[in-house]
Chain A
Amino acid sequence: MMSFAFLWTTFLRLMAALQVTLSVWALSVFVGAFIGAGVTWMRISGVKPIEWAARAYVFVFRGAPLLVQLFVVYYGLSSFPLVRGSVFWPFLRDAFNCATLSCALCTAAYQSEIFRGALSGVPPGQVEAARACGMSSFLLFRRVILPIALRQALPAYSTEVISMVKATALVSLVTLWDVMSVALKIRNDTLVTYTPLLVAGAIYFVLNYVIARIFLLIEYWLSPHLRARAT
Chain B
Amino acid sequence: MNWLTALGFGEHSWGPALCEGAVMTLFVSGAGLAIGAALGSLVAWAKLSGARVAGAIGEGYAALFRGLPELLVVYFVYFGSSALLTATAHLLGVEGFVGVPAFAAGALAVGVISGSYQAEVFRGAFLAVAKGEIEAARAVGMGRWLMFRRIIAPQVLRYAIPGLGNLWQVALKDSSLISVTGLTELMRASQLASNATHKPFTYYVAGGALYLVLTAFSDRVFDFAEKRATRGMRREAT
Direct contact of A and B (CB under 8 A): yes
List A residues at the B interface (Cβ < 8 Å). Answer: 44, 59-60, 62-69, 71-72, 75-76, 79, 110, 113-114, 116-117, 119-124, 127-128, 145, 149, 152, 154-156, 158-160, 162-163, 166, 169, 180, 193-194, 197-198, 200-201, 204-209, 212, 223, 226
Among B163, B205, B235, point to the contact of A72 (Cβ < 8 A): B205
Known contacts A59-B219, A155-B123; A65 and B71 CB within 8 A of each other: no
- Residues on A with beta carbons closer than 8 Å to the beta carbon of B127: 152, 223, 226
Report chain B residues within 8 Å CB of A62.
166, 169, 215
Q: A72-B205, A152-B128 are in contact. List 20 more A-B contacts (CB 8 A).
A: A44-B238, A67-B176, A67-B187, A75-B201, A113-B165, A117-B159, A120-B230, A120-B237, A120-B238, A121-B159, A127-B237, A128-B236, A155-B163, A156-B166, A159-B66, A159-B120, A162-B66, A204-B67, A204-B69, A226-B127
Q: Is B106 in contact with chain A by the CB < 8 A criterion? A: no
- Asked whether B208 lies within 8 Å of A68 as measured between CB atoms, the reply is yes
Interchain CB contact under 8 A, A63 and B212: yes
Chain A hits for B170, CB < 8 A:
163
Is B64 at the interface (CB under 8 A from chain A)? Answer: yes
Q: How far is the CA of A129 from the CA of B211 in the complex (A)?
A: 44
Q: Does B91 contact A (CB under 8 A)?
A: no
Report the bound CA distance from A154 to B167 in whole Å: 15
Residue B231 at the chain A interface, CB threshold 8 Å: no
Q: List 21 A-B contacts (CB under 8 A).
A: A63-B215, A65-B176, A65-B211, A72-B208, A110-B169, A119-B237, A121-B128, A121-B159, A122-B236, A122-B237, A124-B237, A154-B124, A155-B123, A156-B162, A159-B163, A160-B166, A162-B67, A197-B72, A200-B72, A201-B69, A204-B67
> What are the 9 A-B residue pairs with the smallest beta carbon separation, nearest first?
A63-B215, A117-B162, A155-B124, A68-B208, A208-B67, A124-B234, A205-B67, A124-B236, A127-B236
Contact B238 A71 (CB under 8 A): no
**B69-A180 in contact (CB<8A):** yes
Chain A interface mostly: helix
Q: Is the CB of B67 within 8 A of A59?
A: no
Interface bin, chain B: 35 or more
- The chain B residue with its CB closest to the CB of A211 is B67
Contact with A along B186-227 (1 / 0, CB 8 A): 010000000000001100110110011011100100000000
Cα distance, A204 to B72, chains bound together (Å): 11
Where the two chains meet, the residues of B that have a C-beta atom closer than 8 Å to any C-beta of A are 63-64, 66-72, 75, 117, 120-121, 123-124, 127-128, 130, 159, 161-163, 165-167, 169-170, 173, 176, 187, 200-201, 204-205, 207-208, 211-212, 214-216, 219, 230, 233-238
Closest CB in chain B relative to A135 CB, distance in Å: 13
Chain A residues with CB under 8 Å of B208's CB are 64-65, 68-69, 72
Contact A68 B205 (CB under 8 A): yes
Assembled-state Cα–Cα distance A228/B210 (Å): 49
Residues on A with C-beta less than 8 A from B68 are 201, 204-205
List the B side residues contacting A200 at CB < 8 Å: 69, 72
Q: Given A68-B211, A198-B72, A123 and B130 touching (CB < 8 A)? A: yes
Cα-based distance from A113 to B173 in the complex (angstroms): 17
A144–B15 Cα distance when bound, in Å, is 52
**In the assembled complex, which residues on chain A have CB atoms less than 8 Å from the CB atom of B123?**
155
- Cβ B117 vs Cβ A212 within 8 A: no
Are B162 and A124 in touch, CB under 8 angstroms? Answer: no
Selected from B159, B173, B187, B215, the residue in CB contact (under 8 A) with A59 is B215
Task: Report Cα–Cα, A161/B29, bound state, in Å.
Answer: 21
Q: Are B201 and A212 in contact (CB under 8 A)?
A: no
Tell me the bound Cα distance from A76 to B200 in angstroms: 10
Task: Report chain A residues within 8 Å CB of B169.
Answer: 62-63, 110
A155 near B204: Cβ-Cβ < 8 Å:
no
Tell whether, in the assembled complex, residue B204 and residue A124 are in contact, meaning their CB atoms are under 8 Å apart. Answer: no
CA distance A128 to B235 in the complex (A): 11
* A75→B128 CA distance, assembly (Å): 43
Q: A117 CB to closest chain B CB, in angstroms? A: 3
By beta carbon, the residue of chain B nearest A193 is B75
A223 to B: closest C-beta gap in Å: 8
